[in-house]
């Protein structure tokens, strides 16, 4: 009888341990959008960018969240409009507490930032947060373009 009790306790412990593992697997798999896309599917990347940006946005953040997404295979005209729109946005003034995110095709998003932030207005973006979601090799250039403006700069690596 004690052997039966021993086997039953081991079986119960195994079931208990396995049920704990299942919960952890569900937690990790809860938001598949947080998995970096492997290709250049813009829909997959947009879902990833939105899910990733949400992890950086403070819980009490209001409606001042803006994302600039540079599409893979984007036409030059659209890139020029993005640059101009960003310049216009910056020149109009950005409210304190605003959260900006730049992402997508990392090299293209870096280009938009470098050109739009080319003429820094020191301190103009104080108390603004800018998140760049991109390749590590683009981080230094992005920081160099944005930091003179005075925002908090965050970087999220996609590699």
Judgement on whether residues 57 and 126 belong to the same structural domain of the protein: yes
Indicate if 52 and 3 belong to the same structural domain: no
Residue-wise pLDDT tens digits, 13-63:
333 344 444 444 444 445 778 999 999 999 999 999 999 999 999 887 766
How many CB atoms sit inside 10 A of residue 131's CB?
24
Structural domain range at position 8: 1-30
Q: What is the pLDDT of residues 76-100, one digit of tens each?
A: 999 999 999 999 999 999 999 999 9
Q: Which two tokens stand for residue 46?
A: 């947009």
Please give the mean pLDDT across all residues of the chain. Answer: 84
> How far is it, in rounded angstroms, from Cα 41 to Cα 39?
6
pTM of the predicted protein model:
0.79
Contact of 111 with 135, CB cutoff 8 Å: no
pLDDT digits (tens, 9 = 90+) for 43-53: 999 999 999 99
Cβ–Cβ < 8 Å for 89, 124: no
E strands, 45-128, in order: 65-70, 99-104
- Sorted by sequence, the CB contacts under 8 Å of residue 123 that are 6+ apart come out as 149, 150
Same domain for 46 and 115? yes
pLDDT of residue 60: 76
């Amino acid at each position: 009888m004690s052997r039966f009790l021993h086997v039953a306790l081991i079986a119960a412990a195994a079931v208990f341990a396995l049920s704990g593992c299942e919960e952890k697997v569900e937690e990790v798999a809860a938001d598949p959008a947080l998995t970096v896309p492997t290709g250049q599917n813009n829909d997959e990347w947009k879902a990833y960018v939105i899910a990733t940006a949400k992890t950086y946005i403070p819980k009490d953040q209001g409606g001042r969240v803006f994302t600039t997404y540079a599409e893979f295979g984007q036409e030059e005209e659209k890139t020029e409009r993005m640059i101009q729109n960003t310049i216009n946005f910056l020149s109009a003034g950005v409210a304190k507490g605003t959260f900006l995110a730049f992402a997508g095709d990392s090299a293209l998003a870096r280009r938009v930032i470098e050109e739009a932030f080319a003429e820094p207005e020191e301190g103009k973006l104080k108390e603004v947060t800018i998140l760049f979601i991109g390749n590590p090799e683009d981080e230094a250039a992005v920081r160099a373009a944005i930091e003179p403006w005075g925002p908090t700069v965050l970087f999220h690596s996609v590699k």
